[in-house]
Amino acid sequence: KRQPQDEITDAFAGLCLPVGADRRLLRRLHASAQVEHRNLALPLERYAKLDGFGAANSVFIDTAVDLGAEAIDAALTAAGLTPRDVDLIMFTSVTGIAAPSVDARLAVRLGMRPDLKRIPVFGLGCVAGAAGLARLHDYLLGHPGDVAVLLSVELCSLTVQREDASVANLVAGALFGDGAAAVVVRGDQAAGGRGQGPQIVATRSRLYPDSGGVMGWDVRDTGFRVVLDASVPDVVRAYLAEDVHGFLADHGLTAADITAWVCHPGGPKVLEAVAETLRLPPGALEVTWRSLAAIGNLSSASVLHVLHDTLRLRPPPPPGTAGLLIAMGPGFCAELVLLRW
């Protein structure tokens, strides 16, 4: 359900703060997130009734299967394909767990072929939308006649910790939303030819030193307690520019050649760090800022929504020009995906 930020603020104050606690810090954090609306898996009044990790995870499984089916159906329809055309599905989430995995449940529900290859991925967090596209690209280089689907479902609201007034929990409760995204990726020799979206040209992965404690989960009896250090923008400033410029240079490009920047909406301070360190022109991350305001940070699904909005909301980049898709996440790490429109 779509909720305005101020209603979420009031509900999460009752959920996270002790009775009678000063709510000014929480309200300030929610306002500074620059999120105006978010979609939530449950009505606001139901979060206080979730009794522990098991209850939240049961909601995750049921909702992820429903949202995943809807997202895959829409993506395949747009590509002119059916579930039986899919050769591989990769499912990524960092907000719930399931065995059988969500992709297995969806394969049965959607009537996919019994020889479908499946790759469920957990732990990549916000970077997984970009990493998923990169790994599907790797797979399709070896299987150019195949069709692959990347599905991300993130229900971040189910991980908010009750009676936890830590800054990390309050920031997560201000920034992260719920949602799903599915992308169809065709090999160069797949039946039906190239789709309407951009072509993946190349990818690069980066794992940064001494940064394992910057972002992730502290797994407790109450579920996933967020680890979110204030140094994330500093890590971005320290490493991202060298990685991006080096990657582009290896393909004969500079930042000036990029006609669309598809960036994960990690939060205002992270986006400011990205724009500053890459010296991006004004408006280069406009689609990302718009996504942050409209739906918040959806972890791995967000950069896929930004890609969709880039194709839907702005004039198409000139054919043959380059785009760059960027996401960062736990590790601390980054994934770069070079696109050609």
Is 48:216 a contact under the CB 8 Å cutoff? no
Q: Return the bridge partners of 225, or none.
A: 218
* Residue found under tokens 């990390």: 168
Q: Which of 126, 156, 263, 333 is catalytic?
A: 126
Cα–Cα dist 14/12, whole Å: 5
* Side chain identity at residue 56, one-letter code: A
Of the candidates 166, 159, 154, which has an alpha carbon nearest to the alpha carbon of residue 53?
159
Is 88:116 a contact under the CB 8 Å cutoff? yes
Cα–Cα dist 243/247, whole Å: 6
Distance of CA 266 to the CA centre of its chain: 9
Integer CA distances (angstroms), 37 to 1, 80, 337, 341, in order: 10, 32, 28, 31
Here the tokens at position 303 are 């950069």
Q: Return the bridge partners of 284, or none.
A: none
Sequence-distant (≥ 6) Cβ neighbours of residue 199 within 8 angstroms: 339, 340
**156 a catalytic residue:** no
Is 325:288 a contact under the CB 8 Å cutoff? no
Q: What residues act catalytically?
A: 126
